Amino acid sequence: MAKLGIVILFALLGAAAAQFNYDEFMEDQGPPSPGLKFGYYKRTCPRAEEIVREAVRDAVSKNPGIGAGLIRMAFHDCFVQGCDGSVLLDPTPANPRPEKLGPPNFPSLRGFEVIDAAKSALEKACHGVVSCADIVQYAGRDASFFLSNGRVSYELPGGRFDGRISLENETLAFLPPPFFTLPQLIGSFRAKGLDADDLVVLSGSHSVGRSHCSSFSDRIGGTAPPPSDMDPALAAALRKQCPANPTFNNDPTVVQDVVTPGLLDNQYYNNVLRRQVLFNSDAALMTSEQTAAMVRDNAKQGRRWEKKFARAMVKMASIEIKTAANGEVRTNCRVVN
Ligand code: HEM
Ligand SMILES: *[C@@H]1O[C@H](CO)[C@@H](O)[C@H](O)[C@H]1NC(C)=O
């Protein structure tokens, strides 16, 4: 009986080792950035990461689009004031125009209710311990996991503190708009410590989710031939789904990836090569030899892209981290303490 127990124990250990190889992991992702730690909540809130994953699983099973929203939220939080949960703050009399109301975020950014659900479960389990900034990054990680059917899977260090500053006017200053050219995109990413490879690799998340027509209407033209390099067949299909002049009250959405719209995969790069992408910022990746070569590599090597995507998400999640000295752990993600 004892012998059987030992056999089972080793079988379990073997399975765990097969799942998580520390050396391979460090080679893939490198050590966490200063201030962040793998398993940050292991002692203070052991189920923290599981609780977030459950909230994301629940939301994504009902509406996969929310998962796309959460991946985008992780990006929009990090590029403005660092990864500090500043995108979550609601307007107040003291701060009537927070990031949330900036044009890149309102009305398109979605998934806020998932962060609220995770936070309320976390507050029940361990009051005042898990930051909203960490929840946003874990949620982006978990959404990537579910939308890729488990193929994008990575460990993410925690320990981000929540910021108290959130300004609408900083959103357009730091978040690249869809009409940006390649040098402008590279400039936005460089300003946040990310390089051209990160730009190309992370743009692959435009293989899930949707866009409002207003984000690309400049590229599909009216009755005249489109003034862009978009595949004419896609442009024609989009003209059928979008009004000629979208307005706030008449701005339908279309899928980003016409081939595998709900799957986080490297199909995006094949779409870029076929000129079947919505934004100038997507098409622009073909405008330098260096980034075009990256697009071709990612189109060919799906498994490699999945690993690179995971690594770039971890890198993005370490932008301008706040500490106890300039941050806090909010009890409600929508308001400062
Ligand atoms: C390179 C510069 C980028 C530009 C110019 C850009 C622009 C946009 C725009 C205009 C939309 C459509 C919003 C709408 O109208 O509903 C969108 C959607 C999206 N973006 Fe980006 N994006 C960029 C990079 C990224 C990055 C780095 C990520 C994540 C790592 C990301 C993830 C997403 C996702 C998942 C969606 C779909 C959101 C949804 O369905 O709610 N994007 N992006
Ligand atoms: C945003 O507005 C605040 C005050 O409302 C101002 O102090 C700050 O300089 C502005 N930032 C940018 C990037 O325009």
Among 99, 169, 171, residue to substitute to test ligand 2 (most atoms within 8 Å of Cβ): 169
Question: Any residues with Cβ below 6 Å from ligand 2, and which?
Answer: 167, 169-170, 173
Domains of the chain plus CATH, in order, are 193-310 (1.10.420.10)
272/310 Cα distance (integer angstroms)? 20
Catalytic residue among 76, 160, 308, 334: 76
Residue 30, annotated as binding a ligand: no
Q: Which residues of the chain have pLDDT under 70?
A: 1-30, 222-226
CB-based contacts of 4, cutoff 8 Å, min separation 6: none
CA angle in degrees (0–180, nearest 5) for 116-119-121: 110
pLDDT, residue 221, reads: 84
Cβ–ligand 1 distance for 108 under 6 Å, the answer yes
pLDDT at site 75: 99
What are the b/e assignments for 113-140, b being 16+ CB within 10 Å?
Answer: ebbbbbbebbbeeeeebbbbbbbbbbbb
pLDDT at 212: 98
What pLDDT is attached to residue 226?
65
Tell me the CA–centroid distance for residue 168 and ligand 2, in Å: 9
**CB within 8 Å of 273: residues ≥ 6 apart:** 286, 295, 296, 299
- C-alpha 131 to ligand 1 mean position (Å): 24
pTM of the predicted protein model = 0.93
For residue 29, the model assigns a pLDDT of 61
The C-alpha atoms of residue 169 and residue 189 are separated, in whole angstroms, by 18
Residue 14 has what pLDDT? 36
Q: Which pLDDT score is estimated for 331?
A: 98
**Which spans in the chain are helix H?**
2-19, 22-29, 48-62, 64-79, 112-125, 132-147, 169-174, 182-190, 196-203, 232-241, 267-273, 280-283, 289-300, 302-316
Structure tokens, 237: 């299909």
76 is catalytic: yes
SS3 percent helix, strand, coil of the chain, rounded to 5, is 55, 5, 45
| CA dihedral sign, ordered 281, 106, 202, 69 | negative
How far apart (Å, rounded) are the C-alpha atoms in residues 126 and 248? 41
What residue has token string 């500090």? 84
Return the pLDDT at 223. Answer: 63
